[in-house]
Amino acid sequence: MASDVAAIDAERHLLSADDGLYVRTIATGSLSLLCPLEADKPGNRSNDGRVHQSGALWIGTMGRDAEPGRGAIYHVAGSRITRLYSGLTIPNGMAFSPDGTTGYFVDTAEGVLRRVALDPGTGLPKGEPETHYDHSDGEGGIDGAAVDADGLIWTARFGASCLDAYSPSGERVRTVPLPVRQPTCPTFVGSALDRLLVTTGYEGMDETARIADPDHGRTLLVDVAVRGLLEPSFRLDA
C-alpha cells in the first residue's frame, strides 16, 4: 500500500509503502527495500510525505483505520530514520518554505496547521511546533499541502470541495472551489509550474454519495495562476 513517491534521479523513485521505504527502478518497476518503517506496527501504514530541500524525507504514518494516536512523523536521511512527532491520528500537510527554514504539518483529525523552525541544511526541527492556522471548527479537514515560490501554503480541504492558500504569516488568503468533495493532495506541475495536480478520494462514501460526486477518486488539473516550486529529489547519500 503505497502513499508517497519522490524522485531520486532520472532512473529511480523513492516509494513510501505500508511496511517500509523502497527504491523503485522506473524502467522495470522493480522494488528494493531501502529501510523498514514501523515494522513493529503491522496495523499501521505510511501516509503523506514530502522531500525537504536538504534531500531528506518527512513521512507520516497512521493506523489503517485511522485509530486515534497511532500515527507519527519521521525524518529520513538516506536510510537513517528519526521520529519527530508521535501521538498523531492522520498526519498530513507536510511542506516546507522556499528557503527550507520552516516546516508545516497537520493532524487532519485535529485540524490545526502547524509550523516549526528547521535547520535548512538537514530538514530537522530547531524548536517546538507552533499553531499556524486553527481550522478545528471549520468545514472539512486540512489534508495534503504544497508551497509555492512566494511561500503560500496550498492545502487540499478534504470533505469541503476546495483548496486553500495560507500566507507565511498564518492567514487564509485564497480558496479555490473544486468539483469533488474529497480532494486529498496538491502538487505543482506544468512547464511553468503554474498549475496544481490534485488527487481526490472516495473513502467513506456510499454508493449514493459516489453517484452525487461523479469525479470522486479522479486526479484534477487546476489553474491557479501562481508560480510553484520543483520538488527536491531524495538523497540516498544524505
The answer to whether residue 9 is catalytic is no
What average pLDDT does range 111-134 have in this prediction?
98
Q: How far is CA 121 from the centre of its chain?
A: 20
% of the chain exceeding 70 in pLDDT:
100
The grid coordinates of residue 143 equal 489534508
Residue 159 is predicted with a pLDDT of 96
pTM for this prediction? 0.96
Q: How would residue 238 be classed by pLDDT, with cut points 50, 70 and 90?
A: confident
Tens digits of residue pLDDT in 78-91? 999 999 999 999 99
CB 15 within 8 A of CB 21: yes
Instruction: Name 165's bridge partners.
Output: 154, 174
Rounded Cα gap, residues 28 and 25, in angstroms:
6
Q: What is the mean pLDDT of the chain?
A: 96
What average pLDDT does range 101-121 have in this prediction?
98
Whole-number Cα distances in Å, 172 to 39, 47, 105, 155, 169: 38, 25, 15, 10, 9
What is the C-alpha R_g of the chain? 17
Rounded Cα gap, residues 80 and 60, in angstroms:
15
**Taking the chain, what is the end-to-end CA distance rounded to the nearest angstrom?**
25
Rounded Cα gap, residues 32 and 169, in angstroms:
41
What average pLDDT does range 185-194 have in this prediction?
95
What average pLDDT does range 78-107 have in this prediction?
97
3 state SS of 27 = coil
* Cβ neighbours, 10 Å, residue 139: 10
What average pLDDT does range 186-200 have in this prediction?
96
Largest CA distance in the chain: 49
Return the DSSP state at 233. P
Q: How far is CA 152 from the centre of its chain?
A: 15
Tens digits of residue pLDDT in 43-66? 999 999 999 999 999 999 999 999
Tens digits of residue pLDDT in 4-44? 999 999 999 999 999 999 999 999 999 999 999 998 899 99
Query: Given strand 102-107, what is the order of strands in its sheet?
Result: 91-96, 102-107, 112-117, 130-134
- Go through the domains of the chain in sequence order and give each one's CATH number: 4-223 (2.120.10.30)
% of the chain exceeding 90 in pLDDT:
97
Question: Looking at 143, 194, 206, 223, which residue is catalytic?
Answer: 143
